[in-house]
């Protein structure tokens, strides 16, 4: 097979190498001339035999959309475009419709594997017409994992156009929730003065437990490299799929509380001093006299709870005396 590949970044570059190791001919194009095999998208298309297959690995959104539009003018009947980026599945429907006017096929492919995919293979979820998928199959076979159960897992024709990226979207939503659960468990184990070596506890879970996973393996590797995760800021971006999963759940009336909570936790991580938590602290102080932490003024310290409502011990004394209080709130 001779395939064209657009976008040779961390993922695309490794995918080109993995396909070449499987004896596929790959012509790659990237705006970076240091890694590109040709100097233009048109030159890439010209280098391919018919039916031409062009795999796109560029950022989702405008970059993918403009690339597909350009390919619509360069390719012809019977050719196929594969979008292997993290596009939203609704974009696939528009891209497929655009290409169909020129009788060009379209396959959307969710790709998981990250920087480890070159050696371990990539999990592939693809959607599209069976005839179009068949034209891309040698590339799928080269990219998917080979060493597990004779390669029977790791790749799936998920359904019609959009099914691949929708499946990858849900995959990433699940990933959000799993990472958040591991992270919360790690924080709790570190917090208590009881467990001597949290990293070793996590390492023990890598065999024989129901929560073992590749994510757990990666967390242990991170803890080995940076004990206690010192020097790592508690800030996490979201790439889009988590939001889209939550939105899809709302649209289809499917509750996704774990995924939603994990997404919101990432939002909170980006705030050095969460305004929302300030409001929560203020309300807890108002209804229950709970202590608040305030920023010390210049030249001196302020005791926790000194908030204009009296110190916490004063509020506690008032409650005990029954002065100015309602029934004890259940929130603590």
Token duo for residue 43: 């030159």
Tell me the backbone φ, ψ of residue 305, rounded to 5 degrees: 100, -10
Give backbone dihedrals phi and psi of 125, rounded to 5 degrees, phi first.
Answer: -125, 115
3-class secondary structure, 109? strand
Q: Check 168, 190, 226, 326 and give the catalytic one.
A: 168
Closest CA to 50 of 129, 154, 135: 135
Structure tokens given for 180: 């958040």
Instruction: Using alpha carbons, list the distances in angstroms from residue 82 to 152, 172, 223, 266.
Output: 22, 20, 37, 31
Q: Do residues 330 and 301 lie in contact, with contact meaning Cβ atoms separated by under 8 Å? A: no
In the chain the first and final C-alpha atoms are separated, in Å, by 64
- CA distance linking residue 246 with residue 259, whole number of Å: 7
Other residues' Cβ atoms within 10 Å of the Cβ of residue 227: 11
User: What is the number of other CB atoms lying within 10 angstroms of the CB of residue 178?
Assistant: 18
Contact 45, 74 (CB under 8 A): yes
From CA 274, how far away is CA 39, in angstroms rounded?
A: 48
Active-site residue, from 17, 70, 134, 175: 175
Q: DSSP label at 152?
A: T
Tokens (6 digits) for 283? 């309300």
For 310, the token pair is 């009296």
DSSP 314: H
Confirm whether 168 is a catalytic residue: yes
List all residues 6 or more positions away from 202 whose beta carbon is below 8 Å from its beta carbon: 186, 216, 219, 220, 223
| Residue 221 tokens, joined | 């590797």
Task: Kindly list the catalytic residues.
Answer: 168, 175
């Amino acid at each position: 097979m001779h395939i064209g590949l657009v976008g040779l970044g961390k993922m695309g570059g490794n995918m080109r190498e993995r396909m070449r190791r499987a004896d596929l001919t790959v012509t790659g194009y990237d705006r970076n001339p240091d890694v590109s095999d040709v100097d233009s998208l048109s030159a890439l298309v010209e280098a391919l035999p018919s039916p031409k297959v062009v795999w796109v690995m560029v950022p989702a959104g405008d970059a993918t959309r403009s690339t597909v539009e350009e390919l619509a003018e360069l390719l012809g009947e019977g050719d196929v475009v594969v979008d292997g980026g993290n596009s939203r599945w609704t974009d696939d429907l528009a891209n497929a419709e655009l290409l169909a006017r020129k009788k060009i096929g379209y396959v959307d492919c969710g790709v998981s594997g990250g920087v480890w995919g070159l050696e371990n293979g990539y999990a592939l979820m693809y959607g599209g017409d069976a005839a179009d998928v068949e034209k891309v199959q040698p590339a799928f076979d080269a990219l998917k994992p080979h060493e597990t159960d004779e390669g029977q897992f790791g790749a799936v024709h998920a359904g019609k156009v959009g099914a691949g990226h929708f499946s990858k979207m849900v995959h990433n939503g699940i990933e959000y929730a799993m990472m958040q659960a591991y992270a919360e468990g790690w924080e709790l184990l570190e917090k208590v003065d009881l467990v001597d070596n949290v990293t070793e506890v996590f390492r023990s879970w890598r065999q024989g437990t129901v929560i073992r996973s590749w994510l757990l393996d990666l967390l242990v590797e991170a803890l080995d490299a940076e004990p206690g995760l010192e020097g790592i800021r508690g800030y996490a971006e979201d790439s889009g799929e988590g939001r889209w999963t939550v939105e899809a759940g709302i649209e289809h009336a499917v509750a996704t509380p774990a995924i939603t909570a994990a997404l919101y936790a990432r939002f909170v991580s980006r705030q050095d001093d969460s305004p929302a938590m300030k409001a929560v602290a203020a309300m807890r102080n108002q209804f229950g006299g709970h202590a608040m932490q305030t920023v010390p003024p210049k030249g001196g310290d302020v005791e926790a709870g000194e908030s204009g409502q009296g110190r916490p011990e004063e509020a506690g004394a008032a409650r005990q005396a029954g002065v100015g209080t309602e029934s004890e709130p259940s929130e603590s």
